[in-house]
Amino acid sequence: MMDAVATTDFIHVFEPGAEASRPPLLLLHGTGGNERDLLPLGRMVAPGVSLLSPRGKVLEGAMPRFFRRLAEGVFDEADLTARTHELADFVAESRKRYDLPAPVALGFSNGANIAASLLLLRPEVLAGAALLRAMSPFRLPPKADLAGKRVLILSGALDPIIPAQDAERLAQTLSAGGGLVDHRILPTGHGLSQGDVGLLRGWLDQA
């Protein structure tokens, strides 16, 4: 594993995998996380796959995030758009640096929201995405060509942060763009459960 490195874009960790033919995972942490948070999950659900894990560059107090929000569930969409393009450029640069195919994003909460934004604004940078506790990132989502891209959305039925209808709206938006969307609702809250791990592993095995 490489130590966290700073580039012109993001502090990140790259962990090369033995299975170079499989798409790497782009790990995108939640609010207050960092570039190491999702490494254990990545190793668990996709053993042998390369892992690319950046740290969000926006600080909310002392907590890293991938884009600004104005309040709980209210996003600064101008900042979200700019940060999405910045992250997409980092992915493109990292693919050249580490000789990688297009990654599958695995994002949790804030990380899942910017992964959803990547699908809508820069779909060409991702092979697919697993969105854990995601909500619709845009009030009026842009149209995107997602033909053939696999997307897994895992929502919590007891999630106090994300209304069920918001996650469903995201699923419908991505499906309307041609994405192959599998939306599952688990009997849990905002945190991840063993059910998430099992579904993730099975979904990634089919990639």
Q: Which residues belong to the active site?
A: 109, 159, 190
Residue 166 phi/psi, 5-degree rounding, is -70, -45
Give the dihedral sign, CA 92/36/74/151: positive
> Which residues fall within 8 angstroms of residue 205, CB to CB, at 6 or more apart?
none
Strands 63-65 and 51-54: unpaired
Is residue 161 within 8 A of residue 173, CB to CB? The reply is no
